[in-house]
Structure 1
Amino acid sequence: MRLRLPTEHPAEPPTGYKIAHPVLWQDGSRAGFTGVSLGGALPYGVVADAGCVYGRRHRPPARRCDCGFHCVRERAAAEALLCITEHRAAVLLEVSVLGAYIRFERGYRSARQRVRTMTVGPCACGAPALALADAGWGRPGRSALAATCAGCVRGRTPVTFAAFARLAGDGLRVVAAPGAEVLPGPAGAESAPAAGGPGSQAVPGMPELVAEAALLQARLDWFQTRLALLGERGPGGAGQG
């Protein structure tokens, strides 16, 4: 006798939460995500279909396999994962569970998903993040991004939250965690709509120029402060020689 799982027919797709690393395609034309565990080698977009990471020919999510998109039902449970050392640079995703799915005690494993919102935490130094920048690692053809503040971005090219949302497309909303700062996007929005979508009037390259101008201003303020301190100490002050 073959046991069958009970079938659900929800009026709306269930909502789930997970963590992931934002990634940027090598040519800068697209943005997406990569997982933190089993499916980390398979980057995905805002709307994506799951594949079996073991290369099997069954359709995810299979009962006797771990394939499919994993997520938890409670936001707090996903946020708790961000406390793990190797996941500190990850972002929080709110997703719609689509297609066939298997319900577990704490979450779902689904055949399809849509990422609705990406929440970015603080910079690694603890300061509020105002953009994303190269995290120093990646996957073939894709560079991982991490939250950064003006002081830590240095020579890396920043990607504003609005620019990431535009490159990811499909209506992704990018927000900063409570208390974090955000560089203004087109028309004062906290994230930009998908390129070519309704209400999209962003000038190509403008979010990046806004980010670089803000970061350069922050560096200039830092140098002016240092020069002022040197001036107060005078030519014969301590520390010379």
Structure 2
Amino acid sequence: MRLPEERPTEPPTGYKIAHPVLSQDGTRAGFTGVSLGGALPYGVLADASCVYGLRHRAPHRRCDCGFHCVHDRTAAEALLCTAEHRTAVLLEVTVLGRYLRFEFGFRYARQRVRTATVGHCACGTVAVALADAGWGRPGRLALAPSCAGCLRGRTSVSLAGFARLAGYGLRVVAGSGAALPVADLGAADGLGVPELAAEAALLQARLDWFESQLTRLGERGPGDGRKG
């Protein structure tokens, strides 16, 4: 027996976890899933397709394709406790298009990521940037939360910078709960105290790294310290 078709007055909201990714040229930001379909990065506004290459529309009742999310934020946060998901971020999404409702969540055709909540750095400090996590997908670098002191010259982007590259009004929320909305980093008028503090910490970390490299080169001296 088929259940009655739902006609909500507003698109449903769901929660999921994903890894933030940055394009190889550093011009685009998005996410990649943690399970089925993880090899297919997606943007803030995206349409699902069948991961098995079948030519039906996602989600199909006789397939498990489509985007997935859960109803309860707490249930999504619990997934971040597992070792392989510690560097993932929590996403709040708007469920768009066709969807199938289950006991714990949705499987659906289209989504818009509204908010990405970034956890703490591996050292336990509040993250101010997303830095190269040491793995990725073809053409995409996976990113992980990082504080200013742990960047150490890795490819990185500030939280506000990630939001700007992702577009569509994405908000990035640090572990402290300070919202970092999409903004043009060249216009200070669009940034508040949390955003400017995060940008300053990121710039200071990069300056510290350059200073340490210059000091190391100075200690070695001209000609790499070698004498003929």
TM-score of the pair, normalised by structure 1: 0.78
- Per the alignment, residue 185 of structure 1 pairs with none
Is it true that 1:9 corresponds to 2:7 in the alignment?
Answer: yes
> In the TM superposition, what is the alpha-carbon distance from 1:23 to its structure 2 partner?
0.2
Evaluate the alpha carbon distance shift between residue 69 and residue 91 of structure 1 in structure 2; reply closer, same or farther with a 3 A threshold. same
- Per the alignment, residue 230 of structure 1 pairs with none
Where structure 1 has 5 or more consecutive residues not aligned to the other structure, the ranges are 183-188, 194-200, 223-241
Where structure 2 has 5 or more consecutive residues not aligned to the other structure, the ranges are 213-228
CA RMSD after TM alignment: 2.4
Partner AA of 1:191 in structure 2? P
> In the TM superposition, what is the alpha-carbon distance from 1:125 to its structure 2 partner?
1.7
Distance 1:31 1:84 in 2: 24
Aligned residue pairs total 203
Distance 1:70 1:144 in 2: 20
1:75-86 to 2 correspondences below 5 Å:
75-86=73-84
Evaluate the alpha carbon distance shift between residue 33 and residue 42 of structure 1 in structure 2; reply closer, same or farther with a 3 A threshold. same
Distance 1:84 1:29 in 2: 31
Distance 2:103 2:37 in 1: 21
Partner AA of 2:135 in structure 1? W
Larger radius of gyration between Structure 1 and Structure 2: 1
- Per the alignment, residue 35 of structure 1 pairs with 33
Cα deviation, 1:85-106, whole Å, max 9, x if unaligned, reads: 1000000000000000000001
Distance 2:126 2:25 in 1: 28
Dislocated runs of 4+, deviation >3 Å: 206-212, 216-220
- Per the alignment, residue 95 of structure 1 pairs with 93
1:1-241 to 2 correspondences below 5 Å:
3-178=1-176, 190-193=180-183, 201-203=184-186, 210=200, 212-216=202-206
> In the TM superposition, what is the alpha-carbon distance from 1:219 to its structure 2 partner?
6.5
Identity of aligned pairs, percent?
A: 69
Partner AA of 2:181 in structure 1? S
TM-score of the pair, normalised by structure 2: 0.82
